[in-house]
Structure 1
Amino acid sequence: MQNFSHIPVMLEECMENLALKSGGVYFDGTVGGGGHSYEILKRTAPDGRLIATDLDDEALAAAKERLSTFEGRFSLHKSNYKDYAKVLDEEGVDFLDGVILDYGVSSHQIDDPKRGFSYRAKEAPLDMRMDESAALNAEAVVNTYSEERLSKIIKDYGEEAFAGRIARNICLAREEKPLKTCGELASIVEKSIPAKLRYGGAPCERKTFQAIRI
């Protein structure tokens, strides 16, 4: 299991906005390694309760270990936070005092080449699954989705101005051979962006990778 230990970004601001109180019930929909959850449990002692979800098995294992100090006050579920109603029903909870969601990809996922999240990991497989047991991965998306569907995904979820051009070039490239690696996709994206816009700002591949991951 990878080391998930890190200090969450804007931790104090998050805790302040949650208005934590002892005895409260809180929901962390993206528990990750348990950074936010740990602070919630610590600051709501002795009887605050936490319910948390994540799709990443490694994250859930790390969170369970990290939160072990608070045994009996938390429960972890392998679930998408969107299914919170089902999770809360299972827990017998009908009211929450606070909810926290962190939509970003965690550093451990980006740093692990086999997960295929990073456009910098050129030889990494096109995976990008939060839930590694899920059937659909990024390789299937870029190799089987229609040009129109790819363009819509990249535009809607990546806010990429050149979504149509990128989608078209993905489809042209896969006619030659299926796309297998992050490097292959990154190269197509880079070539689809006008040269004058490729450098000086955020990496041009970022928006497309974000869109396909979502």
Structure 2
Amino acid sequence: MHESVLMREVVDLLVVKQGGTYIDGTLGNGGHTRAIIERAGAKSFVMALDRDELALERAGKVLDVFRNQVCLVHGNFSEMAEVARSKGINTVDGVLLDLGVSSEQLDEGCRGFSFMRDGPLDMRMDQQGNDMTAADLVNGLGENELCEILIEFGEEKMARRVVKAIAREREIEPIRTTGRLAGIVERAMGGRRGRVHPATKTFQALRIKVNDELGSLKKGLEGGLSLLGMEGRMAVISFHSLEDRIVKRFFAGHSGKWESLQGGGAEWVGEKPRMQICTKKPIEASIAEMDRNPRARSAKLRVAEKSEMM
């Protein structure tokens, strides 16, 4: 089983008491859920969601020993509030979101997430509930719309050149595999330079669009906050600047700040605070963890606590 990212840091900051109810919005391989239960003890309970049915099946085996303390749900974490309340869970002590694609999904070429393993150009995290694939976007969208996706969701500076190459190739034959798309992008960008594959940002952009990842994140943050009890904590692990920016702004927008007044005193700026930020700067993986788990290299953990205005 692949190692879950920032495991120790997550449980240290998220689980601050014994017992309690938690939500793991991105179950993955089950590592974080297991760590939460082991830290919070026998009286704790975790509702864990994942939109990948294969992940649920794998994690279910790992977590079978905790079967009485876990509820596994096939669903998007953007729906966590509705799902929790439908199961009688109205307040929780912690919410965890580990964003992005899992190592297992990258290892399975058939899922279409990896530019290193050839497979169908799919990229759907939920293959049952989502009909739109990356191949549909690559072959069906106009050049301008496809370029906008690469810029908005991949921050790809060479988007126009990449899209021109895609347009030429799809005229010859539809692009249906990850290997072919990765090759097209690599050639368009003049080959490999350095450690990062030239297709990284293109694949990121298509994956985000296919799965509406940023829309789900915004809704999930709101849903998680609505479920948190007082002094409950939300921990979010992001893997690129688009995700981290949303999380940072969400936490900041619900924390507000005091500003000094001329002549003395201070006034509150922003809405009445609902959160207190626990991590002034995002926590990153140690060098040792990055050596063990390359996925951790870009991980950033932010944590905030629900609180009342002082």
Please say whether Structure 1 and Structure 2 have the same fold, judged by a TM-score greater than 0.5: yes
Q: Distance in 1 between matches of 2:69 and 2:59?
A: 13
Q: Is the 8 A contact 1:31 1:37 kept in 2?
A: yes
Please list, as runs of the form range in 1=range in 2, the aligned pairs for 1:9-48 lying within 5 A after superposition: 9-48=5-44
Q: Is the 8 A contact 2:15 2:40 kept in 1?
A: no
Q: Distance in 2 between matches of 1:170 and 1:125?
A: 16
1:205 maps onto 2:199 in alignment: yes
Shift of 1:20: 3.7
Q: Is the 8 A contact 2:161 2:188 kept in 1?
A: yes
Counterpart for residue 51 of structure 2: 55
Q: Is the 8 A contact 2:25 2:48 kept in 1?
A: yes
Counterpart for residue 144 of structure 2: 148
1:128 maps onto 2:119 in alignment: no
Counterpart for residue 106 of structure 2: 110
Shift of 1:6: 2.5
Counterpart for residue 173 of structure 1: 169
Unaligned stretches of 5+ residues in structure 1:
none
1:90 maps onto 2:51 in alignment: no
Q: Distance in 2 between matches of 1:6 and 1:111?
A: 10
Q: What is the CA deviation profile of residues 155-191 of structure 1, one whole-angstrom value per residue up to 9, with x for unaligned ones?
A: 1111111112212321222122100111211122112
Q: Is the 8 A contact 1:20 1:40 kept in 2?
A: no
Counterpart for residue 270 of structure 2: none
Query: Pick from 59, 65, 69: which aligns with 1:69?
Result: 65
Counterpart secondary structure, 1:98? strand
Q: Distance in 2 between matches of 1:96 and 1:161?
A: 42
Q: Is the 8 A contact 1:33 1:63 kept in 2?
A: yes
Counterpart secondary structure, 1:209? helix
Q: What is the CA deviation profile of residues 92-125 of structure 1, one whole-angstrom value per residue up to 9, with x for unaligned ones?
A: 2222211111113222211112111111224x11
1:81 maps onto 2:81 in alignment: no
Per mean C-alpha deviation after superposition, the further-off stretch among 173-182 and 162-171 is: 162-171
Q: Is the 8 A contact 2:3 2:31 kept in 1?
A: yes
- Please provide the CA RMSD for this pair: 1.5
Count of residues in correspondence between the two structures? 207
Q: What is the CA deviation profile of residues 103-148 of structure 1, one whole-angstrom value per residue up to 9, with x for unaligned ones?
A: 13222211112111111224x1111111122211111111112222
Q: Distance in 1 between matches of 2:141 and 2:72?
A: 34
Rg larger for: 2
TM norm structure 2: 0.63
Q: Distance in 1 between matches of 2:115 and 2:106?
A: 9
Counterpart secondary structure, 1:125? coil
TM norm structure 1: 0.90
Q: Is the 8 A contact 1:21 1:48 kept in 2?
A: no
Q: Which amino acid aligns with 2:94?
A: G
Q: Distance in 2 between matches of 1:20 and 1:170?
A: 50
Structure 1 or 2: more strand by fraction: 2
